[in-house]
């Protein structure tokens, strides 16, 4: 499974980097300056390192679900905070200046001057 994932990641990297930069010559992209000598080895090294990265088997420490659980908790907290912010803003827009604090009411009641 890891070998297949590594080969797929390497192939995607070869295509995703090589085609738009026109290191791999296609009719989709053109290049006025030909590829320099160092670009091909760097392209191969990038694809190789990407394939190796995706081919590494996770260690026992990476398999623990604590990281995933922390991500879920943070996602729930952020959604709750966003919901509260939306509700408060909606409530303020419905009741207008009556919901504003004392400092905001006095600022809204003042007539704008020429300097403003």
Q: What is the pLDDT of residue 97?
A: 62
Of 45, 52, 51, 63, nearest to 9 (Cα)?
51
Instruction: Give average pLDDT by consecutive 10-residue segment, the chain, 116 residues.
Output: 91 93 86 88 94 84 66 86 86 69 59 59
| Per-residue burial over 75-90, b = 16 or more CB atoms within 10 Å of its CB, e = otherwise | eeeeeeeeeeeeeeee
Q: What is the pLDDT of residue 98?
A: 64
Q: What is the pLDDT of residue 41?
A: 92
């Amino acid at each position: 499974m890891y070998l297949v994932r590594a080969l797929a990641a390497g192939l995607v990297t070869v295509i995703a980097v090589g085609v738009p930069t026109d290191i791999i010559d296609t009719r989709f992209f053109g290049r006025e300056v030909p590829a320099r000598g160092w670009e091909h080895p760097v392209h191969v090294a990038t694809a190789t390192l990407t394939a190796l990265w995706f081919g590494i088997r996770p260690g026992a420490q990476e398999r623990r679900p604590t990281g995933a659980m922390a991500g879920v908790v943070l996602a729930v907290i952020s959604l709750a905070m966003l919901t509260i912010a939306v509700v408060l803003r909606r409530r303020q827009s419905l009741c207008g200046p009556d919901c504003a604090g004392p400092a905001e009411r006095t600022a809204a009641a003042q007539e704008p001057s020429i300097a403003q």
